[in-house]
Amino acid sequence: MCAARRTTSTRLTRLAAKASPYHSGVTLYEARDNFDLEVQARLGQSSAAETPGPSDSRRGARSTAKKSKPATRQQPGVKPELLEEGDGADHDASPQKPKPQRKSKQKAVAQRLETPHPTPANWADAYAAIKAMRARIVAPVDTMGCDQAQFRGTRAQGEFFGFGWFHINQRFATLVSLMLSSQTKDEVTDAAVAKLRTALGGALSVQAVLDADEAVISEAIAKVGFWRRKTQYIKQTAQRLHDAFDADVPKTVEELCSLPGVGPKMAFLTLQVAWHLNVGIGVDVHVHRITNRLGWHVRPTKNPEETRVNLESWLPKDLHGEINHLLVGFGQTICLPIGPKCGDCTLSAAGLCPSAQSAKTRTKTSKTAVRTGFGSPKEEDVQEGSGPKMEIKMEMERPRDRENMESGLVKEEV
């Protein structure tokens, strides 16, 4: 068998060698006329003479598979597991390959702390004081927050009562309101939701968004921040709700965060308002700013998610659902981002806020001009409150002045 392998492995060439008739050390080569016939004869003899062993069969199978299957270039940025079954030679034969659907990127939701954050001292007193102040204040979030969006809609034609499409639309309106609220004041968001509902025919529903053109949605929400991107998010979210969730708002944080333009804060608030589920704290810029000003974190937190996991580790769970609404209104009216009204805040007087700013007192100086003669007056700085500004003129009577006055050259003022 070894001899047969050596025979078959001998390479055939199209040139025939023969010795030169002129010199014994020279070999001449000329083309073979019957090269193809010799190759066929050689192959026929080798196949009849040898029987391939197990290792040769495997080697041949591998080489045959490599030759039969054309090489396919993997598309850049596409993971192999995203390619559907059948994406092989049939797709390569066509000039245009359909792009595989991209899976929606799952947003990471921070988990709970392994070691709970220390409970801040006097947090309960500060919380009660804020709650008392909020009871006397009507903030924008109280009348134009996401919880109010669900009550602005009307039952459109074709919707049935009870726990039907009307309540599904209410949940969808809450979600859309939260999607529009990022980087936007509540007054602008509330107006945009109302205008969008009117543009869609009176009902803010998944189907109405799918049927509407992007231009109609963009025009309705043009006053909110990043309105172009939010237009795409609303359209994509409506499509995903229609395809994956029976046109309703999902009931888990993970499913909500899989929607375009929806993050953890929106997910927690949606579950609280739309489904009455208390599964976490919705932390926005107000909650993040105020809790850091109050010193409720051992080290200042860098982002809302870090703030959330800290708060959830020590704040009683029955307060998780109300703290967002409480602190947002407090931040909109008193604890402002720039120029907080510490003079109107009872936390300052009670010493419960380490970031309280005391009113700056400025001492002004006034000048009193004292004339001691005919020269320029001498100015002396005196502290404010020492008395009104006074100008004293002291003139010494001279004999020549008396003579001029008597002669009528100088008129005496009465």
Rounded mean pLDDT of 396-413? Answer: 46
Q: Are strands 391-393 and 27-31 parallel, antiparallel or unpaired?
A: unpaired
Positions marked catalytic: 265
All domains in the chain, ordered by first residue? 123-350 (1.10.340.30)
Rounded mean pLDDT of 121-140? Answer: 98
Tokens of 101: 């659907």
pLDDT tops 90 at residue 201 = yes
Q: Are strands 391-393 and 365-371 parallel, antiparallel or unpaired?
A: parallel
- d(C-alpha 185, C-alpha 163), whole Å: 32
Rounded mean pLDDT of 5-24? Answer: 62
In this prediction, residue 356 has a pLDDT band, given cuts at 50, 70 and 90, of: very high
In this prediction, residue 139 has a pLDDT band, given cuts at 50, 70 and 90, of: very high
pLDDT tops 90 at residue 299 = yes
Rounded mean pLDDT of 363-374? Answer: 50
On whether the CB atoms of residues 254 and 298 are closer than 8 A, the answer is no
Supply the mean pLDDT for the chain.
76
Question: What is the model's pLDDT at position 109?
Answer: 72
% of the chain beyond a pLDDT of 90: 53
343: left (phi over 0), alpha (psi -120 to 50) or beta: alpha
Tokens of 146: 């996401």
Question: What is the model's pLDDT at position 129?
Answer: 98
Q: Are strands 365-371 and 378-383 parallel, antiparallel or unpaired?
A: antiparallel
86: left (phi over 0), alpha (psi -120 to 50) or beta: left
For residues 89 and 10, the model is more confident at 10
pLDDT tops 80 at residue 158 = no
For residues 160 and 84, the model is more confident at 160
Question: What is the model's pLDDT at position 39?
Answer: 62
In this prediction, residue 169 has a pLDDT band, given cuts at 50, 70 and 90, of: very high
Dihedral in degrees, nearest 10, Cα atoms 260, 113, 288, 261: 0
pLDDT tops 80 at residue 64 = no
% of the chain beyond a pLDDT of 70: 60
Rounded mean pLDDT of 126-140? Answer: 98
Q: At what angle do helices 186-199 and 165-181 cross, to 10 degrees?
A: 140
Question: What is the model's pLDDT at position 117?
Answer: 95
In this prediction, residue 19 has a pLDDT band, given cuts at 50, 70 and 90, of: confident
Single-letter code of the amino acid located at 194: A
